[in-house]
Structure 1
Amino acid sequence: MSQAINNWQMDQKADLSKPPKPQYKSAFRILGSYAKPHRRTFGFVFVCTLIAIAAELLQPYLVKIVIDDNLMVGKNDYGSLLIISGVYLGLSLLALLFTYLQNNLLQYAGQSIVARIRKQLFQHITRLSMSYFDKTPSGSLITHVSSDTEALNQFFNQVLLSILRDGMTLLFILVMMFQLDAELGAYCLVLLPVIAIIAVAFRSFMRNTYQMARTRLSRLVSFVAENLSGMNLIQVFHQEKEQGKQFKERNQSYFQANLREIRTNVLFNRSFDILSNLSIAFVTWVGGKAVIGETLEFGVLYAFITYIRQFFQPINTITQQWNMLQSATVAVNRIWGIFDIRPEILDSEEAKKHDLPLDAVKGRVDFNRITFGYESGTPVIKALDLHIGAGEMIGIVGTTGAGKSSLISLLCRFYDVQEGSILIDGHDIRDLPQAKLHRIVGLVQQEPYLYAGSIIDNVRMFDPSISREAVIEACQFVGADALISNMKHGYDTRLSERGSGLSAGERQLLSFARILVFQPRILILDEATANLDSHTEQLIQQALGVVSKGRTTLVIAHRLSTIMQADRILVMRQGEIAEEGTHEQLIALQGIYEELFRHSQGQLGHAIGTVINTAVK
């Protein structure tokens, strides 16, 4: 037992930081690479299994000794019977103890491996580029992290244990049967080809039914995940009935696949039961004739019948694990399919060596004739040239699809430009480590995301290096302190996922406080005041006036009142800068900006109202 504990401690010291390179083509080789740090534990599992099986299979042999050497010869040696009974009890306890150790050790190793894979999978997904998430449904990723890793969990819980324990049991039973009577043992070997034919005949059909059920389950989980994330949209457009209909179709499809899988398993299991009963009847007939002819001892026949019963149990169990083995193989291939995906945005060797102290950043930004498109041949931004001075406040406006958010995404390096370059203080952002770039550039988006946790943790993003006092000061700065103080537990109030229970404006205030505690040199507000009421917007405007001092600030505006005091306002159209200047200069131009401003002042709404009133009259 102490040896097992030592093995566990050694296993925990293994390097779990990086997944092996996904160059393996075999699922077993991949899992084998993860099992290497636990090889001592698996060795101890093998020893425990060996002892447990031996203790269990020796029990019928002890009964055979009692029958042939005592009862059948009329020997009334109660002392010997008592000793054999004690040995039988000891073997039972020994089998129980080592089965317990075998299961616990195997579960420890298996759960450690699955936890390691799940952790590495999540870490790998979080490092992938935004372009991957643009193309991949979130429900599919949830399936990979949950269902696929659960399939691996079942592999270690059931499949591996069955292969090890039942495989060894089958081998030991054959040895014991030949030890008892070689002729009867040879008759039993005839069963092996029949068993193989049944297994092969069912294997392909069982694999297809199982894969069909897993595929339909994956679609069902993906559908549910997508609907839960968009529940507000479903309710607003009264799509409950339609979505319920689609869910019913997917659920019925999964139901039918499950029924087919169950029918296949029942038919397969009953086939083995029939074969088992026929074998027992055959052994009883052949062995009974030998006992009557006094060429075979009755105790040997009893032990043989017991072993033949046990002979089919491990075969049946192993074949039943075929589905799970297939599922684990598919899961490994799918998981390593994700590991095969490399992030498009990577730190270059130059970036790893680059040293740009955060305190030395001034905040000058240069977009040098950049061109970018999400798909090749269809540029969203075309040869844009823009130079922003350190500490300058820039407002960006334009119609939907003008390229405003794409420009910001390029500065945050969610994507790389296809032509040109983006510089911060003369340093190409591709030559800066991404971690440092994201400390230099702070982003507040239109839809702030809050995590399940306390307000303190949400503002400092679970970074313990940021003090509680700094969080409170940031919240006071943006005007969120009054809101938080009215909560029952104040700054320790726990928020649910996405901050449900808070208004859009309250969530936005917390996101402003979040950005302040990280002290970025370049601040980006991407439609950050679009969902705020007038009072909250006024609070944000007041905070903006102070926080933008000494910082380069880029504001994508939905409400033009947010950027009227900006040093410069850019009007974007079709990926280009159509107009540029201060608020007064752009109004004087009487161009795109002047039209946007006029609409924002309600002139268009007033005109429409006049038309409607006239029509009513």
Structure 2
Amino acid sequence: MNESRTHEPNAATSTTTKPASPSRYEALRAILQYARPHRLAFIGLFFTTMLAIAADLLQPYLVSIVIDDHIAVGNSGLPFLIGMALIYLGLAVISLIFTYVQSNLLQYTGQHIVASIRKDLFAHISKMSMSFFDRSSSGGLVTNVSSDTETISQFFTQVLLSLIRDGMMLVFIIYFMFRLDVTLAWYSMLTLPIIATLAILFRKRLRQVYQQARSRLSRLVAFTAENLSGMGLIQIFHQEKEQTRRFTEFNSDYWEANVQQLKSNVLFNRTFDVLGNIALVLMVWLGGVAVFNRQMEVGVLYAFISYIRQFFQPINQITMQWNTFQSTIVSMDRIWRILRLKPEIADPAPDEAKPLEPELVRGKVDFNRITFGYEQGQPVLTELDLHIRPGEMIGVVGTTGAGKSTLISLLNRFYDVWEGSVKIDDIDLRQIPQQQLHRIVGLIQQEPFLFSGSIIDNVRMFQSDISREQVIEACRFVGAHEMIERLPQQYDTVLSERGSGLSAGERQLISFARIVVFKPKVLILDEATANLDSHTEQLVQQALQTVSRGRTTIVIAHRLSTIMHADRILVMEHGRIAEQGTHAKLLAQGGIYAELYHHARHSAGTAAEA
């Protein structure tokens, strides 16, 4: 039930260094492990492909037999020709059926494999520690889950099909060519070194233009996403023309790269076509001479010409799949980099775990001389010692970078302390299973996160075991019921992304209702009223007083009015507790808190006069 968290602006990096880059072949082997459960499907694919190709390539061979053994010697009649035509048609139908089965089998298997990869990748990302998200951009992770897995899908549905079908077709064609005429077959084999040389020469160029097009597309997409997220600022400063000009430049660069890629592909394909036509002319000339000298039969020449026409097709297809294979290897490498990572924050071993029953938790919290930072050698908190009694409300104030949000990140165990310990009811957080810890500690942030879905599902976080009546009761408890009743579909109103359409205060009330439903014993509010107007702040304050009863509550405050009635107020400075006490006591001391308080009152008075 913890919502997405923020941390101090100076804490953008994790202490953990990135692991060494895995071998691309290691990534390939790891991803191909997903194909192992589908061994029978691939065996079926192999045999259906073999039967489809055999039925297709038997047709010229059958015609050669009909021409040489029957028509040429006058040993054929209408019944025979009809019979041969039916056999020919039967082979075509067999080829069609098995090609259809092969394509569907491969698509089904390939999509199933990619769906499994995508599912495991998302599940793995959701289990990663917060330091992982500090290092990784959300856009990059979205690309991993969507674009990279789609590229792998192309490997299973295109590259793999080409390797199996075209490779097998090439072997069958060479077999039939040697079976028909060994001399012509060896002449045909002389083209293989030329084909290999062309493929090597073109491969580098094709890879370059492909990577250039992908790179420029990424720049275009990134620029578009950036402008969409900052459209308000663009319109305020009248930057529409300038941003359109820059978009046009990116778009033109991508267009040029696509044109270069298209030209290279066309040149490669046409070169193969020319080579194939030259080989065909050569075989026709050599075969024609052999037929003229009665060294070869006409039917054999016809079949050989049919095979030589098909000889270059599978080679061309296999070579053209090289780019897709290269991009697949890159995508597999990126995905495997994530899948091989282990969460830095792990659950304790079963023999070391000390489970806590949420109903029996009292809510005592202890920070025992903790030291922690996001980068080695740069501690944010240094030997901080804090002890909170069960049911106590603590207010925390301080300047930006003082370590306030870091404190609550450690209590949620988004990170582990370097030194010291954080305990709930005298049990170290590292000994509590994370699922239980996150039921014990509830977090409400400045910008509450709401998912796309109904209000009722957002309150109960899509857990169907929480009844509708419990949700309504929780909303009544925090004062959100009347607001929800005014909506068109009330509790079934579907919210868009991040709850747009609701005010900041309404979103906060829903997050408070969420807390009531899940009943955490320790409640954390991180700047929960910072962006609210005075009227909405009063509503949220009332909800806060309601949900904090009987709970240990820690309030990170931007507005001091939020924590004036707290049992104890902590003033943090440079990762240490500089002052602590009640509101009245701290004012009487005339220290940092008193200065903050008087500054806040002066700012409020100036704003009121304006």
* TM-score, normalized by the shorter chain, greater than 0.5: yes
Aligned-partner residue type, residue 548 of structure 2: S
Per the alignment, residue 42 of structure 1 pairs with 42
Per the alignment, residue 401 of structure 1 pairs with 401
Other structure's SS at 1:367 match:
strand
Per the alignment, residue 418 of structure 2 pairs with 418
Other structure's SS at 2:332 match:
helix
Per the alignment, residue 144 of structure 2 pairs with 144
Per the alignment, residue 131 of structure 1 pairs with 131
- Change beyond 3 A, Cα 1:71–1:153: same
Taking the aligned partners of 1:296 and 1:215, their CA distance within structure 2 comes to 55
Taking the aligned partners of 2:294 and 2:385, their CA distance within structure 1 comes to 104
- 1:377-396 pair list within 5 angstroms: 377-396=377-396
CA contact (8 A) 1:365 1:423 kept: yes
RCO higher in 1 or 2 (8 Å CA, sep ≥ 6)? 2
Other structure's SS at 2:510 match:
helix
Residues 470-479 or 233-242, more deviating: 233-242
Q: Report the TM-score when normalising by structure 1.
A: 0.91
Taking the aligned partners of 1:436 and 1:249, their CA distance within structure 2 comes to 52
Aligned-partner residue type, residue 88 of structure 2: Y
Taking the aligned partners of 1:351 and 1:428, their CA distance within structure 2 comes to 15
CA-based RMSD: 2.1
Q: Report the TM-score when normalising by structure 2.
A: 0.92
CA contact (8 A) 2:31 2:336 kept: no
1:135 Cα deviation from its structure 2 partner: 2.3
Aligned-partner residue type, residue 123 of structure 2: Q
Taking the aligned partners of 1:102 and 1:83, their CA distance within structure 2 comes to 28
CA contact (8 A) 1:139 1:226 kept: no
Per the alignment, residue 173 of structure 1 pairs with 173
1:145 Cα deviation from its structure 2 partner: 1.2
Q: Deviations over 1:493-546 (max 9, x none)?
A: 111111111111111111111122110000001011112222222222222222
Per the alignment, residue 573 of structure 2 pairs with 573
Aligned-partner residue type, residue 51 of structure 1: L
- Change beyond 3 A, Cα 1:552–1:236: farther
Q: Percent identity?
A: 61
1:226 Cα deviation from its structure 2 partner: 4.6
1:240 Cα deviation from its structure 2 partner: 4.8
- Asked if 1:340 is matched to 2:336, the reply is no
Per the alignment, residue 289 of structure 1 pairs with 289
Per the alignment, residue 519 of structure 1 pairs with 519
1:207 Cα deviation from its structure 2 partner: 2.0
Taking the aligned partners of 2:374 and 2:241, their CA distance within structure 1 comes to 35
- Change beyond 3 A, Cα 1:23–1:350: farther
Per the alignment, residue 326 of structure 1 pairs with 326
CA contact (8 A) 1:138 1:225 kept: no
- 1:148-159 pair list within 5 angstroms: 148-159=148-159
Residues 290-299 or 439-448, more deviating: 290-299
Aligned-partner residue type, residue 363 of structure 2: G
Other structure's SS at 1:374 match:
strand
Aligned-partner residue type, residue 393 of structure 1: M
* Structure 1 spans left out of the alignment, 5+ residues: 1-21, 613-617
- 1:541-552 pair list within 5 angstroms: 541-552=541-552
Other structure's SS at 1:397 match:
strand
Aligned-partner residue type, residue 93 of structure 1: V
Per the alignment, residue 190 of structure 2 pairs with 190
CA contact (8 A) 1:459 1:471 kept: yes
- 1:473-552 pair list within 5 angstroms: 473-552=473-552
CA contact (8 A) 2:28 2:333 kept: no
- 1:424-443 pair list within 5 angstroms: 424-443=424-443
1:353 Cα deviation from its structure 2 partner: 3.0
CA contact (8 A) 2:65 2:299 kept: yes
Other structure's SS at 2:378 match:
coil
1:172 Cα deviation from its structure 2 partner: 0.5
- Change beyond 3 A, Cα 1:235–1:352: farther
Per the alignment, residue 69 of structure 1 pairs with 69
Taking the aligned partners of 2:145 and 2:231, their CA distance within structure 1 comes to 22
Taking the aligned partners of 1:245 and 1:125, their CA distance within structure 2 comes to 37
CA contact (8 A) 1:64 1:302 kept: yes
CA contact (8 A) 1:455 1:494 kept: yes
Taking the aligned partners of 2:373 and 2:245, their CA distance within structure 1 comes to 38
- 1:9-24 pair list within 5 angstroms: none
Q: Deviations over 1:457-496 (max 9, x none)?
A: 1111111121111111111112211121111111111111
Per the alignment, residue 13 of structure 2 pairs with none
CA contact (8 A) 1:35 1:113 kept: yes
Per the alignment, residue 595 of structure 1 pairs with 595
Matched residue count: 589
Residues 140-149 or 44-53, more deviating: 140-149
CA contact (8 A) 1:143 1:222 kept: no
CA contact (8 A) 2:477 2:546 kept: no
